[in-house]
Amino acid sequence: MTNLTYTTTTETISIKINFNIKNLFKANFKTAKWDNWNKVWTLNNTTRTLNKLNKWIEEVKEVSTELEKAEAIAEELEFSENELKTLKREIESLKENIESSKDNIEILKVVNEEITQAKSEIETLKSELEIIKAVEAEEAQDSEELVDSLVSVNNIEELQDKMIAAQRKGKKSVFRAEFEKAQNELCEIRDTFRESGFTINDLDYLVSCSWNRQDRDIPSSVGDFYTIEKWEA
């Protein structure tokens, strides 16, 4: 809760005001002066001013409690940073434009309803995301089962290793022959898989690697042989 305390002398009232309600205070007490040395606002000590100040403090405390509840709810919802900043700006705007505690309580009720609605929407989106993830997992499993039923991934990886090893040995023709022999076997595996109506992107890459372009074509750069796509000859 906003802590508002003041001290009085025979002539003045001194009060410390939180920064977030400074504008509201100044709007209600236009004759207030800033004491930069003591970091307080000062007012002439009159019965009328003192009564007005006490009444204003009670109103601000009541509204402040509702604002703090709204901020707590907003934090629980774990809004993204931008959404949270927007919400805080809206709350700050409410603080700066308070005319009476009764009016602001009504505004806060609307804010709370909007937060509740946002929370409901977030839960709905979470449920939809879980369904999407489940479908993707099922599709991935189906993809793996299809690949395993048609080709040996272990065999593909062994031939890939032979291509990599041949490149690393040097530029001699005997190493090139080892590279192209492994690549030809991979080509046969690719063609067999394509007969099923699908193709494996990383396998296609291995088959397309050129011995003469080792700066660009790198067999070790791929390794996902379960991601497939439709193939049309």
* pLDDT at residue number 84: 73
Q: What local confidence, expressed as pLDDT, does residue 108 receive? A: 74
Q: Looking at residue 109, what is its pLDDT?
A: 84
The per-residue pLDDT for 140 is 56
DSSP state of 39: T
Residue pair 21/63 in contact by the 8 Å Cβ criterion: no
Gap between the Cα atoms of 122 and 109, Å rounded:
20
Task: Map out the domains of the chain as residue ranges.
Answer: 6-123, 151-230
* pLDDT for the residue numbered 70: 63
Exposure string for 155-179, b = 16+ CB within 10 A, e = fewer:
ebeebbebbbebbeeeeeeebbebb
Q: How much is the pTM?
A: 0.42
pLDDT of residue 67: 67
Regions in the chain scoring below 50 on pLDDT: 1, 131, 134-135
Q: Please tell me the distance from the alpha carbon of residue 198 to that of residue 190, in angstroms, as a whole number.
A: 10
pLDDT at 111: 85
- Stated as kind and residue range, the H or E segment containing 192 is helix 173-194
Q: What pLDDT does residue 80 have?
A: 66
What's the pLDDT at 103? 85
